[in-house]
Structure 1
Amino acid sequence: ESDMSTEEIMAYCNRYLPEDIAVVEVSEAAPRFHSRLNATGKRYRYRIINSQIPDVFWRRYALEEPENLNLDAMREAAELLLGEHDFKAFTSAKKSKKSTIRRIDEIRIEQIEDRIEFVFTGNGFLHHMIRILMGTLLEVGKGIRTPESVTDVLKSGDRAKAGALVPAKGLVLEEVFYT
């Protein structure tokens, strides 16, 4: 409960947040609403700069990968990750009582000049899951592994069989979905 209007709350938050973070919308929620427990899905974006020349504007917000990538092979591998699977091999969480079964609804790969953006939408993601999926897809793109190998990784449940954990700097939580 607050005596402030939603506009006042937004202005207050933006006054005290760091300059690279902004609240763009505020809305009222039900009294028992919980931002994590009531979420039905999330969308993440991971950016790569695919160029021999370092990008001074994006270097803090994207992974720089100078090696040519086979986007068709990466798309083929991404298709195999869609749907509901046990993503145990794609998390760095140690033993947990929580289920590692998740559903990925979309993995979209978009190229904008030398920037490649990967959009992941699903019902939820495990600790480091997107970054490990990206490491695996990068290995496919470089020809280190075949697109079909991601199915074997999924079935194995073995973190050691998946790709590397890529840096967080390319990852952005873009949207959280609620009912």
Structure 2
Amino acid sequence: MPRRSSVAIIHPSDLHKELFTDSGAGTLIRRGDAIQKASSLSEFQDLDKIKKALLESRNNLDTEATDAEAVVDRFLEFLKVNPFTAYYDENMSGLAIILPPSADKPMATIASLTITKFGWLSNLAENMWSAIKTDNPSLCWRVSEEDENLVWFFEKADASFKHNGGVLFYYGSDFDADVLDSFSTTLPAIHTLR
């Protein structure tokens, strides 16, 4: 059994029932990775992993984008000089980059959220969201209306607005029309599956 896995046995006499189902397939319980945080690029052990995660996310978002690597490089340059908080797991199955409130953005904003299929299936998205929500009492983000995880985002938001092929979500704030216009024109859609 892999080191990162464990099995819970209720009682030794039930060992055969605990380890094997009727079909003999067995029961495997996996431990999840801890959610880590970083507030500068220098805190990441492997910047290439970050770039790869962002690049895969970008390629899925813009299937015709030929300059995806240049876009990711510009985003990383932006992060070098601007405050952010990144949430991620050791295997980089999930990465969220949150920008704090600023003069032109009244609430924290998800700049990037990328989660692998394994990350969605292993509850990583829920664990990341819990950490993000603990640190951000109000937050907004925009997701493509074609994102396959759109229902999950509706569950996490207080409200949403559909606009220009995307859905603007938020929690923890009362939006007015001016704020909505500001966010809907400047906030790119994030893509959540890579």
TM-score for the superposition, normalised by structure 2: 0.21
Look at both structures and tell me which one has the larger radius of gyration over its CA atoms: 2
TM-score for the superposition, normalised by structure 1: 0.22
More helix by proportion, 1 or 2? 2
